[in-house]
Structure 1
Amino acid sequence: MRTKQRPLFIAFSSQKGGVGKSTFTVLAAGILHYRLGYNVAVFDADFPQHSLMKMKERDLGMVMENEILKKLAYKQFTTINKKAYPIIQHRADGVLEAAHDFSDSSAVPLDVIFFDLPGTVNTPGILKALAGMHNIFTPITADRIVMESTLVFTQLLQDVIMKNTETSIKTINLFWNQVDGRESTPLYDAYIRVIDELGLSLMRSQVRSSTRFRKESEAGAKTVFRSTLMPADERLMKTCGLDLFMNEFLRITEL
């Protein structure tokens, strides 16, 4: 467990939409807060979508309508005696100051604050926000457009922002998401060589493709995967390799 006064600032960040930034923010936050005992908060700074705020509203409605999920939520609350982690809506501009203020005034000492940030680097305040992160995780898929966009974005972070003496960034970590076992291994090998030649860090764990990543809990569901109110089901985590990803995530962040 963390004993430092200041929480870790972590972002799943990419210049390309649809690769899983918001999904992984929710998955990681839920596992840390509800299962592993950390105290977490999330800043939804992805204006104007603010998809995490909308997701929490949907999750609340789903739990109230689904008796099985309602019992799971009640059991969780009585077992860990913790409320849902807060999601705070903010623009990228000024989000670091808002996060520090929130942490300082929090009745519960926070271990981690996650940031869901816009994908466009010309968004006001985005470069300052990224420079204030301690760890950045960037999902990638074996798609030429995604890779080109992501590699340019990551090099910008590494070559421009990290050379700024005021940066807080300790690590920038690329990781494979939506891995399809039917895709060509040589394709992945070629991308891995490019990543290595650019001196970028690639995580060992790979998260396999799953329809669960694109779904909220469905009516009649007996388990949850992507939810702001409960952690992902452990069996579903193993199915797509999310358990191994989280183990590596914990090692990198030193949580």
Structure 2
Amino acid sequence: MSTDHKTVFIAFSSQKGGVGKSTLTALVASIMHYRLGYNVAVFDADFPQHSLAKMKARDLAMVMENEALKRQAYKQFTSLGKKTYPIMQHKADSVLDAALEFVNSSPAAIDMVFFDLPGTVNTPGILKALAGMHHIFTPITADRVVMESTLIFTQLLQDVIMKKGETSIQTINLFWNQVDGRESTPLYHVYSELIAQLGLSLMQSQIKSSTRFRKESEADSKSVFRSTVMPPDERSMKACQLDLFIDEFLKIIQL
């Protein structure tokens, strides 16, 4: 691999469970690899559940059992000329070294590596792993417990780790996820003002709430949304405004 190729390390990270970091890692990685043509790798360091590695096994089995999706997958991989992106399991304390070794030994240049990291600061090696990211994307919801946990930890990353200079972090980006149109708009405004006062970065795009985020494709599906082997259906992306998020995501990472 060329030594001057830029490989970007990205994590969807949060110190609160249930905000969608693993699902978003799979969605964005699949869009980048299958729809936009980047070479992607994923490191699943969310020990012990390793949900992304397990998801890929289910996704592959589901596609093989569904004739419509099997045809789509064959057409996709034939036109792309490349395989599914790898999902490798590691613990947080060794994941950075493993990722660097993978990138340096890969015969094809890797454009971006996504990391699914544990959701607790007490995990051994988690701060070192986060400090090795180039860009961190943190999903937030309009919930007091989520906001308090997220803002405290994001300030720690920005005001302590980044200011010390012993880090690769270039940006930390909060964004609204699972936005319910029925929720109070003033609530989002108040939280957004607080984020600005704390000097933290909030993305303009918001990902709307959808049942698609919480369920995997069914046996008779003709399209997929959350999958590690195919990109999400474009109509579904637009319905939850994931397409707008991807546009802003690409501007931030500047690959």
Length-normalised TM-score, structure 1:
0.98
Query: SS of 1:195's equivalent?
Result: helix
Q: How does 1:81-96 map to 2 (within 5 A)?
A: 81-96=81-96
Q: What residue is the counterpart of 1:210 in the other structure? A: 210
Q: Distance in 1 between matches of 2:4 and 2:178?
A: 34
Amino acid at match of 2:141: T
Q: Hey, what's the Cα distance between the residues in 2 that align with 1:85 and 1:177? A: 25
SS in structure 2 opposite 1:224? Answer: coil
Letter of the 1:177 counterpart: N
* Deviation digits for residues 152-209 of structure 1 (CA, Å, limit 9, x no counterpart): 1111111111112220000000000000111001111110111011000000000000
Instruction: Tell me the CA shift for residue 94 of structure 1.
Output: 1.6
SS state of the match for residue 204, structure 1? Answer: coil
> What percentage of residue pairs aligned between the two structures are identical?
75
C-alpha distance in structure 1 between counterparts of 2:250 and 2:104, whole Å: 24
Deviation at 1:76, TM superposition (A): 0.2
Gaps of 5+ in 2: none
Task: Show the counterpart of 2:108.
Answer: 108
In structure 2, what residue type is equivalent to 1:197?
Q
Q: Which secondary structure state, in structure 2, belongs to the residue aligned with residue 122 of structure 1?
A: coil
Question: How far did 1:55 drift?
Answer: 0.2
What letter is aligned with 1:31?
I
Aligned CA-pair RMSD: 1.0
In structure 1, the partner of 2:47 is 47
Tell me what 2:31 maps to: 31
Structure 2 residue 57 is the aligned partner of structure 1 residue 57? yes
CA distance in 2, matches of 1:4, 1:210: 41
Counterpart in 1 of 2:154? 154
Is the counterpart of residue 130 in structure 1 residue 130 in structure 2?
yes
Partner of 1:236: 236
Q: Deviations over 1:69-99 (max 9, x none)?
A: 1111001011111100000100000211110
Give the structure 2 partner of residue 8 of structure 1.
Answer: 8
Return 144-153 or 133-142, whichever deviates more. Answer: 144-153
Instruction: Return the offset for 1:4.
Output: 4.5
TM-score with structure 2 setting the length = 0.98
**Aligned residue in 2 for 1:176:** 176
| Letter in structure 1 aligned against 2:169 | I
Q: Which 4+ stretches in 1 moved above 6 angstroms?
A: none
Return the letter of the residue paired with 2:180: D
Amino acid aligned to 2:71: K
- Cα distance in 2 for residues equivalent to 1:6 and 1:180: 37
Aligned amino acid, residue 222 of structure 1: K
Report the AA paired with residue 93 of structure 1. D
Task: Kindly state the Cα deviation for residue 219 of structure 1 after the two structures are TM-superposed.
Answer: 1.4
Aligned pairs, number: 253
**Match of 2:246, as an amino acid?**
M
Aligned match of 2:140: 140
Whole-Å separation in 1 of the counterparts to 2:77 and 2:119: 34
